[in-house]
Structure 1
Amino acid sequence: MMLFRPGNEDEYPGTLNKELLFAHLHTKPSPHRMKRTVTLSLLLLFLHVAAYSQAHKVFGKVVNKQMEPLAFASVEVRELKSGVITKEDGTFELQLEQGKYEIIISMVGYLPMMVAIMVDKDHEQNFILADDETKNLSEVVIKAKVKDRAEEIIRKLISNKENILAASGPYSCNVYIKATQQDSAYRIKKTNQPGKQNNPGQETEAELARMAMAEISVKLDYASAQQFKEERIGVNKRGEVANLFYLSATEGNFNLYNNLIKAPSISQIPFISPVSYSGLMAYRFKTIKIERTGKQKIYTISIKPRQLSNATVEGEITISDSLWAILHCRFSLPVFHLPEYDFFEVEQQYDYVDTTAWMITRQKFTYYSKYGKGKKSGETVAVFKDFELNKKFSKGYFGNAVSITAQEAYEKDSLFWNKTRTEPLTNKEIKFIHYKDSIFNVTHSKAYLDSLDAATNRITWKNALFLGQTFNNHERERRWLLPPLVSVFQPFNFGGSRINLSMFYSKNFPSKKNISVIANASYGIRNNDLNGSVSFQRRYNPLNGGTYSFRVGKDFQYIYEGDAYINMLKRSNIYLNTSLGVGHTLGI
């Protein structure tokens, strides 16, 4: 407020005298001004209310004491009498206004938990539920008056699974893996000639050429889902084995006693195990067969997903009603979560090992992928044996390396495989091995390799002028590569014409270590300048890809390599780069 003396209004321009002020206060406001004032007041009131009613995100994960995610657990806000259920990975999200709340987390088979939280910003809150050891699950089923005992049996299996998992403790075992694949696009067509039929047991050379097979012998050490390691004792690969599944025990854990079935090599989405409290809500169970063995009843129960989740499997499981343990199971994975497969099935055999623990002793994976008019079908069998249960591993035994393969593993002979092989070979697999071995013997004979060197090292005008000349020596395992003559003189280059010389050299050693050198020199005719570079790389550890390298050079470089072609030729886009680089790589 500005005060002024009467009669001196001119000294304070922009102020009102008392008469004008009195007139202003007693003047009736216009309707337009009143409307604008009301609108402004309502807007301020709305902003004031919104400031206090802004929702904050409360999110987190619900897990059990083994840190396994719990799907379909209830997360309820006590004050609001509402909440959400967790997703397949155990995560949840709530939208809450500022204030204090009590969050109640509950799930069948676990003790409920109540936690008070203060919400004034986005907040992460994780929960660990403890097992409810006093809950009598069978009584729940009886009260529900369920005629089919399938769900009751699954519940008893779930209540016993912690004992089953704990019985083995940390363990070691040997694993024999045999994986095969057939490309059906190259099968011979059926003959239409009368009196002639294709014999299924007589595979053609084309069919054998499109097969792939691998045999792996592994020593597996396992302490937990986060602590495990395998050592490949023997490796034998024939054909294109890149698409074969489960050549390593690290490619997936399909044990149904875990809450989640994880196979990151084929699906980023874990699948809910039917043998879990989350599975009770995610699946429908139905008894399809009952057998009696002595005093035991063996139940075969079908597993079908409900509409609650799509991260589920489908199949059947065989359970002993007195041991409450899995004897056998077979289930398929949903193909919409498998980018590379159109069908994928898992079959498992469980046995009582050393009268101590129920362990998976055999796994079989059957799968195929369609492409065009063809189909690649694969089958992998893994046999687990020689268990050492409740084994004590030294501190720090499980490091960063989860899979180790020594060079000797690739050099195992037929005597080793005849002793190691626990899964017999089929007639077709035997023919395939003989076929591939015969090709290997021919293509690795001295006469054949000498002929290849002679053809490669032959100097021709085509190689000398356009393709470049290679000199290879298979006995010393070294190779030289010289550029073609057309690349020596470069008339259109920055700063004028240049003469460019380069070479490549590589050397392999019996230990599978190698070295390689790349060198080039460029002389500018107009400016009499000399540029060039030398790169050196050495692989010192073939098992985990350990390499080191260095590079030194001086040459012209583009500032913006992805620019338009006309802009790349501008002087402002080119600079003379002097560099020194050192690199190191190591596989984990």
Structure 2
Amino acid sequence: MLSFFAFRKFSFFCTLLLVSVFNSFSQGIKGTIKSSDGEPLPYATIYVRNIETGSTSNAEGYFEYPLPAGKYDLVFQYMGYKSVVKFVEVVGGFSEVHVKLEPQTIVLRDVEIIAGKEDPAYTIMRKAIAKAKFHQNQLDSYQAEVYIKGSGRLIDSPFFLRKQMAKEGVDSTTAFVTESISRVKFTRPNTYEEEVLSIRSNGDDNNTSPMEYLKGSFYEPKLANAISPLSPKAFGYYKFEYLGTYRDQAYDYSKIRVIPRSKGDDVFEGEISIVEDYWSIHSLNLSTSYLGIQFLIHQIYNPIEDKAWLPISHQFDIEGTFFGFEFEYNYLATAKNYKIELNKDLDIELVVVDEKVEKELAKKLETQNKNVNSEVLEKMQSGKEMTRKDLKKLMREYEKMEIERDTVPNISYVTNVTVDSLAYKKDSSFWQAVRPIPLSEYEVKGYHKMDSMAVVNKKEAEGDTIKTKQGKEGFKIYDLLLGNTYKIGDKTHLEIKSSLVSLNFNTVEGYNFFYELAYTKTFENKTWLEIAPHIRYGFSINQLQSKLKATYKFDEQNLAVEGGRYVYQINPNVPIYPIINSLTTLMLESNYMKIYQKEFVRLKYSHKISDKYRIGLSAEYANRLPLENQTSHTWFNQGDKDYTSNAPANVELGPTAFLEHQAFLTGVNLTMKPWQKYYIKNNERQSINHSSPELTVAYNSAIPVGDAQISYHKLAVDVTHALDIGIRGRLSFRVGGGGFLAKDSITFLDYKHFMGNRTPIQDIDVVKSFRLLPYYNFSTNGAYVNLLTHYQFRKFFFSRFKFARKRGVKESIFANYLGTDSAQNYTELGYSIDNIFRLFRLEGVAAFQDGEYEDWGIRIGVAAFLDEMFNFE
């Protein structure tokens, strides 16, 4: 239904969330929650204290909550208002309860202000931060039943799409709606299980589900890639302001304003209330943004079994504009029937002392707790007063002990989601009975338009994500252009690859096109075989070329056999895409792509030894043939400008032309990610991007066998990584080096080639290639070192302005270096503005040799964040 949303596959948050079970009662409580002056309080919390369950009111302050017969202790809460406790008996039908809440009286405590007039908020937050790890490890496990309702609607769209979208039924008067009921369980340190019992949906959530916030915790240093106000690094990212203290339900709470030192996409802003003496979260109202899209998070916590404070209600509001589409999404979740199991090691009460304020007591405690690294459990279980520094040290030691006991290290989290076979079969009467939050007018209209998307969601939840055309639909002539996949047998599919970008142009083949098919057969134990024929025809060279590749995957291993006659770029890493070369050749008369032909057979084997180590082996016998330009065709004649030879210029070799020859090539490479972290979802491991540097060691050789005369040995080492640098920004880099150990007989094809660029278009990967480097000018048969670095600021120049931050604009600087015998310390320095219109990157760059200015240029690329969002390689 939302097929026109360009942000549909934009994955800045993961899918469906924690949700819950309610029995179908025809009785319970209903009513309204208003302020003392009669204004409805939207999404106020109703907490049933004696059975530890909860709900919320809707946008109009109305609630309707099914409960079995019995007596109930109800607590009505709303941030900024005094709680109201009511005792209600449910006998039959719905008992009406109407509540008015008074504004909370907040008082400023008598607080000792230390030298420098430090705000009292800092003492409170220092204690809360010191105890965050304690709260994070306080429970061995918990179980809960959670209900969630999500809704969203399109508010505005690009004018040229409105008519077509109206035909599809997409407008601002109806909403996407989803409701879910699940049973969830969390087991320390990182295992989350969810059993979806019922689910109802009328469309696509466009990946707006706030699952990361619900699975995570504000006690963690980061939540959904944003720095938590309770992170150990929080004081580098935030300023805090004490707003006062209030008393409610026998507890004192301090209200703190959270103020980012530098506003951006990875910080929160708003208010948080901390429970005095416990130093846990009572409630929060925080906002953050991602690429200009705003997220508002509202949570209320309650003491479960008077031992641990856990969230009982969540509210998430999401709004923004993306590619001209203005939208809003709202999610509400309520938890009930908490069952908790305390971590026996931490079943204690600690008094936290702030040594910056309570200096004398802290000095005394530090003397008592000198040997903080010994007898960790005994010290924690003593229940004595402890400075926040000592508490941090103890929790670090405790976590080290936990890691040593952990049989599977480096797992960030484990998620297992199952869907009940009857989850999609509950009718509207069931949902009316269990729904604690009445639907709005928009949501009712959305459900009236319930369509086939519910069936699609069911298939996706059950794992059926293969797109097939079969039965009556069958083959369509336009499939030859657009591509499609067909099920032709049991676990057998035939895919026609899209040929939309298969027509290209170069000076050797002239206009050329290629076509691909793929036949796939899946076997037991997740093994499969793919056979992929590939044909190519060049009109100027008047030659049909083809190759065939067969790949067999088994037990984390791949074995591939490939052979035929085909054309390849001299640099096997493909420094210029065919479509880009076509445009620069036809429009600018600049033929940068240099190609040759080979008749070959190749065997490749790869083995994923573990998440940290991969090994690859290859062997190829090839007859390699030179090619020459066959056409001077262009769209715009540049006067005296001519096409360059297909044999590129090189400062070391001079002419690079070669004769037809044979070569037997072998290679072995080892890729290592020594500190790789990953998560497990439904028993399958998934690597976490950028959690470890990637080191690749490659050894390649040519062996003179039979008619093959090429002979050399070369070694290359390459390291890539991306990491956050403090509070300032993100550093990405790629560094490599190597050379020839022996070079008895080589051609220019065997030189070390670098990723250059002479076109206005830059690669999406910011550390993949140089910006101005000629493609083959500095290729070498000697030693080399190259370094590409890119640093993205949280805030620099334009990103200081609100209008730029609101649109997700980022700024970066980059520096690249190439060192060979002939490159003369080639260096590039540049500046870029990223995420322009959420899609583009604009770069300005200058090149130098031996410190002297050489050249400059402007480059346009795709927004760098899309590289990670869409996993471009």
* The structure with more radius of gyration: 1
Higher helix share: 1
The two structures have a TM-score, normalised by structure 1, of: 0.50
The two structures have a TM-score, normalised by structure 2, of: 0.36
